[in-house]
């Protein structure tokens, strides 16, 4: 391990608040939780040690900034960013990799002793994952002015705590989140580095992925209302069992996504990922079920087609089982295409470094999809072992993190204007 790899390894542990990345239960740092905040505090401490200024904005995002000269203070920043929150029992690389490599890139840039003028930022976005509230990228939505503050304030987590309560428990004020929106002139360009969370890079034996676009999710909640009754005394023929009625839909969603993917130029993935059953006790026939469905494709038309097919299936199930179905659309985000010129620059730098690269699309949403709506933005992937993510076995090697850090540093040096 060279010096940079040692630093990355140590800093990876620090950002994850552990002494070793081997954690059986993985990492749980939900949106606006104490755990997310502790990781953010670790970020702040590391950035301070590196001589960066750190501020927290009104949405809880932490912004670490290096102003090479006094005049840098008023100039637009070259920004690198990602997040530190995780799903329940998630991995320690999703999000963390981007924050870590961003810090590493500034470290490398500073070590060159080149006399730069443009400020460099590492942004640690708050609450990227939707695991707690079903809303993703809260921090980057706030920074870009895309957050519907009123619309999300009362959404509750599984324990009944609202977004507003969670945010205010961190000393922030819900109504002031709008002030986290930054001016166009504050940022020159934005890059996010992220683990792939897929197997394409590994399968192609590549070092780095250049991402063309992001397949943003459509999310539905499907509710089936049947009729409760005693499991022992209600004859099979007289039931309106909500779980029996929804079971074929789970199968249908999986099979239809496979079918659409086979017959289209772009893949589509669809997952019935959450279920709430009522009353969920042994001797009562299920009355109500809520099924959460996550649909993604770079092709927005395919997502609409999938949603339409689900609606038709629900109408069929209503008739077959004598139940009532309701479909609610929680999220319907259009796919985001990244900045082609910036992508090209990164590819040239990567080739110059001897990195084997692959152009690909992202099936997961990232903070960059919001930033891309305001500033020239790009997304780099580093390989994920076996594509495993949102899981304790999520893993990217220190060597891949180093390569990611180096390409970020070279990009920053190329983009930043220097003093003569």
Backbone angles phi, psi at 100, to 5 degrees: -60, -50
Note every long-range contact of 306-310, with CB atoms under 8 Å and residues 24 or more positions apart, other chains counting.
306/218, 306/253, 306/256, 306/257, 306/260, 306/268, 306/270, 307/218, 307/220, 309/252, 309/256, 310/220, 310/222, 310/249, 310/252, 310/253, 310/256
Structure tokens at 104: 């590493």
Residue 404: half-sphere exposure toward Cβ, Cα within 13 Å: 35
Of 34 and 320, which CB lies nearer to a second copy in the complex structure? 320
- Tell whether residue 265 is a contact of a second copy (CB under 8 A): no
Give me the sign of the Cα torsion angle 346, 351, 357, 360.
positive
Lay out the site mask for a second copy across 369-388 (x = CB under 8 A, - = otherwise): ------------------xx
Which tokens sit at 213?
């676009």
Residue 411: CB minimum distance to a second copy, A = 24
Cα dist. 51→110, 200, 294 in Å?
10, 37, 42
194 in a labelled binding site: yes
Collapsing DSSP to helix, strand or coil, 403 comes out as helix
Give whole-number Cα distances, 316 to 68, 121, 142, 220, 360, in Å: 64, 53, 41, 18, 38
Residues in the chain: 420
Compose the 277-296 pattern: x for residues touching a second copy by CB under 8 A, - for all others.
x-xxxxxxxxx----x-x-x
Considering beta carbons, is residue 104 or 286 the nearer one to a second copy? Answer: 286
Q: Rounded to 5 degrees, what are φ and ψ at 93? A: -120, -30
Would you count residue 74 as binding a second copy (CB under 8 A)? no
- By C-beta, is 228 or 368 nearer to a second copy? 228
Is 301 known to sit in a ligand binding site? Answer: no
- 48 annotated to a ligand binding site: no
Q: Indicate the SS3 state at residue 218.
A: strand
User: What is the DSSP-derived secondary structure letter of residue 156?
Assistant: B
Give the one residue of 305, 337, 390, 415 binding a second copy; rule: CB under 8 A.
390
CA end-to-end distance (rounded Å), the chain: 35
Q: Is residue 347 within the footprint of a second copy (CB under 8 A)?
A: no
213 touches a second copy (CB under 8 A): no
Q: Which is nearer to a second copy, 106 or 253 (CB)?
A: 253
231 binding a second copy? (CB under 8 A): yes
Under the criterion CB under 8 A, does residue 267 sit at the interface with a second copy?
yes
The CA distance from 116 to 262, in Å, is 50
Contact with a second copy (CB under 8 A): which of 364, 371, 379, 401?
A: 364
Closer residue to a second copy in complex, CB, 25/420 = 25
Angular region, 80: left φ>0, alpha ψ -120 to 50, beta rest:
beta
> Does 227 count as an annotated binding residue?
no
Contacts of 373 (CB under 8 A, 6+ apart): 144, 146, 336
Verify binding: residue 247, a second copy, rule CB under 8 A: yes
Please tell me whether residue 243 binds a second copy under the rule CB under 8 A: yes
Which has the closest alpha carbon to 358: 341, 386, 379?
Answer: 379
296 annotated binding-site participant = yes
Residue with Cβ nearer a second copy (118 or 196): 196
**Contact status: 248 vs a second copy (CB under 8 A):** yes
Q: Determine if 197 is a binding residue for a second copy (CB under 8 A).
A: yes
- What is the C-alpha to C-alpha distance for residues 314 and 324, in angstroms, rounded to an integer? 9
233 interacts with a second copy by CB under 8 A: yes
Site string for a second copy, 128-167 (x = CB under 8 A): -xxx--x-x-------------------------------
User: Which is closer to a second copy, CB of 47 or CB of 193?
Assistant: 193
Residue 332 touching a second copy (CB under 8 A): no
Query: Where is the binding site for allantoate, in residues?
Result: 219, 283, 296
Query: Where is the binding site for Zn(2+), in residues?
Result: 83, 94, 129, 194, 390
Query: Where is the binding site, in residues?
Result: 83, 94, 129, 194, 219, 283, 296, 390
The residues that touch a second copy, with contacts defined as CB under 8 A, are 87-89, 129-131, 134, 136, 196-199, 215, 217, 219, 228-239, 241, 243-244, 247-248, 250-251, 254, 257-258, 261, 267, 269-275, 277, 279-287, 292, 294, 296, 362-365, 387-391
């Amino acid at each position: 391990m060279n010096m940079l790899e040692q630093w990355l390894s140590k800093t990876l542990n620090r950002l994850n608040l552990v002494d070793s990345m081997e954690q059986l239960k993985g990492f749980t740092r939900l949106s606006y939780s104490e755990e997310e905040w502790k990781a953010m505090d670790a970020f702040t401490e590391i950035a301070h040690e590196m001589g960066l200024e750190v501020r927290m904005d009104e949405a809880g995002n932490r912004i670490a900034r290096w102003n090479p000269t006094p005049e840098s203070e008023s100039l637009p920043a070259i920004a690198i960013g990602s997040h530190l929150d995780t799903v329940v029992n998630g991995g320690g690389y999703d999000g963390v990799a981007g924050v870590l490599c961003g810090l590493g890139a500034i470290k490398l840039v500073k070590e060159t002793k080149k006399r730069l003028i443009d400020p460099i930022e590492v942004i640690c976005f708050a609450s990227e994952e939707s695991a707690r509230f079903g809303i993703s990228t809260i921090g980057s939505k706030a920074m870009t002015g895309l957050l519907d503050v009123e619309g999300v304030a009362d959404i509750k987590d599984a324990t009944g705590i609202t977004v507003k309560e969670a945010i205010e428990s961190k000393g922030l004020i819900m109504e002031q989140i709008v002030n986290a929106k930054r001016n166009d002139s504050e940022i020159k360009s934005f890059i996010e580095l992220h683990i792939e969370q897929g197997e394409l890079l590994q399968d192609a034996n590549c070092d780095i992925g250049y991402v063309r676009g992001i397949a943003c999710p459509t999310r539905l909640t499907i509710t089936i209302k049947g009729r409760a009754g005693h499991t022992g005394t209600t004859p099979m023929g007289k039931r309106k069992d909500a779980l029996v009625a929804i079971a074929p839909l789970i199968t249908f969603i999986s099979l239809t996504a496979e079918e659409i993917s086979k017959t289209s130029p772009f893949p589509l993935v669809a997952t019935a990922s959450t279920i709430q059953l009522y009353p969920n006790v042994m001797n009562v026939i299920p009355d109500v079920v809520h099924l959460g469905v996550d649909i993604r494709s770079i092709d927005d038309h395919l997502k609409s087609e999938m949603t339409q097919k689900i609606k038709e299936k629900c109408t069929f199930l209503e008739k077959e089982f004598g139940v009532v179905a309701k479909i609610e659309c929680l999220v319907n985000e259009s796919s985001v295409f990244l900045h082609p010129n910036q992508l090209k620059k990164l590819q040239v730098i990567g080739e110059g470094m001897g990195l084997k690269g692959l152009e690909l699309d992202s099936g997961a949403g990232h903070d960059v999809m919001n930033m891309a709506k305001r500033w020239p933005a790009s997304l780099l992937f580093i390989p994920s072992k076996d594509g495993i993510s949102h899981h304790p076995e999520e893993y990217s090697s220190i060597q891949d993190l180093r390569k990611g850090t180096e390409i970020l540093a070279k990009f920053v040096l190329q983009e930043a204007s220097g003093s003569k």
